[in-house]
Structure 1
Amino acid sequence: MSSQTYSISDLSRELDITTRAIRFYEEQGLLSPERRGLERIYSARDKVSLKLILRGKRIGFSLAECRELIELYDPTSGNLKQLHSMLAKIAERRAQLEQQLLDIQQMQLELDTAEERCEQALAATLNNQKNSH
């Protein structure tokens, strides 16, 4: 683990995230910078955690799930627990997305049926109006 440190603006710039978001993750206990007066000093571990949070958010993980993964971070073990947990969460997320996709496809079929019925009713109404004149 490198002993490199980062300011909040370094991380903000490098990871394209607002300083407000970084402070929020700190408030949530996901980051733990050192303090030098009012200045926050972030470690390489904080940077890894932040990258994990951002990646997790992109694939739909909750902050609680991100926290679990961060807590499992252990470079001395090659991050085996973290990697296994990540794979399990990815499989779970994939299953959720597949179910959502099926739900969306079912809803599209329902919309197609409703649209078809409306169009038939409209055509019948217009036809009846035409015939009654």
Structure 2
Amino acid sequence: MTAKTYSISELARELDVTTRTIRFYEEQGMLSPTRRGQERIYTPKDRVALKLILRGKRIGFSLAECKELIELYDPSLGNRKQLDTFLDKITERRAQLEQQLLDIQQMQLELDTAEERCRAALAEVPEGR
């Protein structure tokens, strides 16, 4: 029995992306379909890679980080290295987001202070001036 394969339109429909998106990831060397004439034939491994790319992009990973994770895929090793690396990247991303959140909260405080000062200054300016 042969493994299931997918056309570009099947993958696009299933994962809710455009065929252009899939071709872009192929151009980046992240997917490697075989060809039957002009038709691209994607394997289950390509499908998993595309799902990993899309998940990685949703949580803020760069294309380089997604590519690194795909290249670590080795089912013969139980994907231990890939999963350990993924966890490390999740930890890094979480730390970045926490820092961004702190930066945003600090900026909000500064905006509040600036707004209060502007309103106080406006209160002291006579109307029409």
Q: TM-score range by the shorter chain?
A: over 0.9
Task: Write the mapping of 1:1-133 to structure 2, written as runs, cut at 5 A.
Answer: 3-126=3-126
1:72 and 1:17 map into 2 onto residues whose CA distance is: 24
What count of residue pairs does the alignment treat as equivalent?
A: 127
CA RMSD of aligned residues (A): 1.2
Query: Percentage identity across aligned positions?
Result: 76
Q: CA deviation at 1:51?
A: 0.2
2:35 and 2:19 map into 1 onto residues whose CA distance is: 16
Q: CA deviation at 1:78?
A: 1.1
Q: CA deviation at 1:74?
A: 0.9
Q: CA deviation at 1:56?
A: 0.1
2:78 and 2:117 map into 1 onto residues whose CA distance is: 59
The amino acid that maps onto 1:71 is E
Q: CA deviation at 1:14?
A: 0.5
1:17 and 1:77 map into 2 onto residues whose CA distance is: 30
Q: CA deviation at 1:3?
A: 1.8
SS of match in other structure, 1:98: helix
Unaligned stretches of 5+ residues in structure 2:
none
The amino acid that maps onto 1:13 is R
Structure with higher Rg: it is 1
**Cα deviation code 1:22-76 (max 9, x no counterpart):** 0000000000000111000001100000000000000000000000000001111
2:63 and 2:88 map into 1 onto residues whose CA distance is: 16
- Give me the TM-score of the superposition, normalised by structure 1: 0.93
Q: Kindly report structure 1 stretches of 4+ aligned residues shifted beyond 6 Å.
A: none
